[in-house]
């Protein structure tokens, strides 16, 4: 029995995927406008999201459906801890907390873990496949945008236990397609995936305020420097 769930997820979330990419924070990121304060808040929020997903996946790893898409080599919690230590220092645990949107996201993951663990397929697909698909591109943007040394603060994008990401994505999609779930449950998983995109969008939107303020500060600083240079040029000319 084949559910073709990966195909349904791809087709059924196209609109949500496009909407997520058009959130201001993500649009700025993709254009190379990356600011460390807002980015480290994103890393902190993702830490809580992945901690929830991976806790539920671990708890249900012997479940007849969840076990089929349980791939611990995808886990991001440890890599996010490494990045948080880079951005916040060794006492990062005392400095980070989930945002309101992140709290709602985490609650939803734990709720379905307790009631309908099959729906974890939606959250696994939405987050991990996206990480594998665009991870290296996003890593490059982060490195350039924040002037990072390669590898510093970007462990999230590195899958040390996966040597061939393209082959693994094929394996992952096949596992999703082979899930023995009926049509009603397939529809619920696709619906949950769209909800997951929505929760990610709300999380990104919360960060827009911090990014806009940071851009404003950078523009103000740039204008101030220009004015100062202009005043200096006038003095030199007058002399």
The confidence score (pLDDT) of residue 175 equals 96
Tokens 């907390």 belong to residue = 97
Q: Which residues make Cβ contacts (< 8 Å) with residue 58, sequence separation at least 6?
A: 72
- Residue 119 vs residues 32, 48, 189: alpha-carbon distances, Å: 34, 19, 5
Residue-wise pLDDT for 30-75, tens only, equals 888 888 899 999 999 999 999 999 999 999 999 999 999 999 999 9
Domain boundaries, the chain: 5-233
* Mean pLDDT of the region 144-160: 90
Domain spanning 5-233 has what CATH number? 1.20.910.10
**Cα 204 to Cα 35, 83, 211, distances in angstroms:** 14, 18, 10
Nearby residues of 47 by Cβ (< 8 Å), 6 or more positions away: 77, 80, 81, 84, 96
pLDDT in tens, 210-227: 655 554 444 445 455 556
Computed from CA positions of residues 66, 69, 72, 77, in that sequence, does the dihedral angle turn out positive or negative?
A: negative
HEC assignment per residue over 108-135 = HHHHHHHHCHHHHHHHHHHHHHHHHHHH
- Say whether pLDDT at 228 is over 80: no
Cα–Cα distance between 235 and 239 in angstroms, integer? 6
Q: Both tokens of residue 194?
A: 């769209």
For the chain, what is the total number of helices (H) and then of strands (E)?
10, 0
Question: Mean pLDDT, to the nearest integer, of 151-157?
Answer: 92
**What is the pTM assigned to this prediction?**
0.87
Alpha-carbon distance of 118 to 185, in angstroms, equals 8
Give 85-139 pLDDT, tens digit per residue: 999 999 999 999 999 999 999 999 999 999 999 999 999 999 999 899 888 788 8
The H or E element containing residue 199 is: helix 183-238
Task: Provide the 10 A C-beta neighbour count for residue 24.
Answer: 14
| Residue 229 pLDDT | 62
Predicted local distance difference test score (pLDDT) of residue 10: 95
Residues 53, 43: Cα–Cα separation, whole Å = 15
Q: Cβ–Cβ contacts within 10 Å for residue 131, how many?
A: 19
Q: How far is CA 157 from CA 80, 130, 136, 212, 216, in A?
A: 9, 11, 6, 25, 28
């Amino acid at each position: 029995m084949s559910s073709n769930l990966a195909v349904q997820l791809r087709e059924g979330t196209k609109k949500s995927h496009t909407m997520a990419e058009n959130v201001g924070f993500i649009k700025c990121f993709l254009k190379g406008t990356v600011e460390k304060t807002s980015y480290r808040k994103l890393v902190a929020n993702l830490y809580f999201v992945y901690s929830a997903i991976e806790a539920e996946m671990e708890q249900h790893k012997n479940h007849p459906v969840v076990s089929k898409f349980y791939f611990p080599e995808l886990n991001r919690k440890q890599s996010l801890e490494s990045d948080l230590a880079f951005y916040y220092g060794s006492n990062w645990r005392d400095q980070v907390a989930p945002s309101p949107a992140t709290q709602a996201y985490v609650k939803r993951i734990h709720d379905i873990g307790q009631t309908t663990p099959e729906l974890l397929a939606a959250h696994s697909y939405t987050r991990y496949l996206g990480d594998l698909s665009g991870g290296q591109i996003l890593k490059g943007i982060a490195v350039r945008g924040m002037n990072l040394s390669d590898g510093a603060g970007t462990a999230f994008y590195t899958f040390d236990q996966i040597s061939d990401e393209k082959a693994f994505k094929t394996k992952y999609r096949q596992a999703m397609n082979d899930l023995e779930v009926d049509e009603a449950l397939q529809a619920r998983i696709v619906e949950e995936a769209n909800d997951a995109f929505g929760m990610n969008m709300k999380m990104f939107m919360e960060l827009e305020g911090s990014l806009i303020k940071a851009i404003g500060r950078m523009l103000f600083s740039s204008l101030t420097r220009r004015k100062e240079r202009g005043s200096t040029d006038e003095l030199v000319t007058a002399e």
